[in-house]
Amino acid sequence: MLGGIAYKVGAYIYVSPECEGDWCEIARIEQIYDNGMPGNDNICLTIRWMWRPEMLTLKKKDEKLFAKNEIFWSDIIDNENGVDVIEGWQQ
């Protein structure tokens, strides 16, 4: 639970961007687990990243193939993300 919200597998979340001023990244929670470490920072997430069209390398002619707010599944899955990376979530 973070900020009074109980996140669950399958939830779409906004993840803190690496650079201040950038848009939040979008990911889906694939797994929630306890990393076995003592303390409050022991809950971790496995997340699957999603891409926006502007994150893809496209040829000029292909740019019109996508809707402005469309997102795509990535094949990138990251483990051991603390819940502190969550900025918000999509209900």
Sequence-separated (6 or more) residues with CB below 8 Å from residue 4? none
Mean pLDDT of all residues belonging to the chain: 77
pLDDT at 25 over 90: no
State how far the Cα of 73 lies from the Cα of 25, in Å rounded to an integer. Answer: 12
Instruction: Look up the pTM and report it.
Output: 0.72
Write down the pLDDT at residue 90.
Answer: 59
Write down the pLDDT at residue 44.
Answer: 83
Query: Per-residue pLDDT averaged across 31-46, rounded?
Result: 80
pLDDT in tens, 46-90: 999 888 776 666 555 555 666 667 777 888 888 777 777 777 665
CA distances from 68 to 25, 27, 52, 54, 63 (A): 16, 18, 9, 9, 10
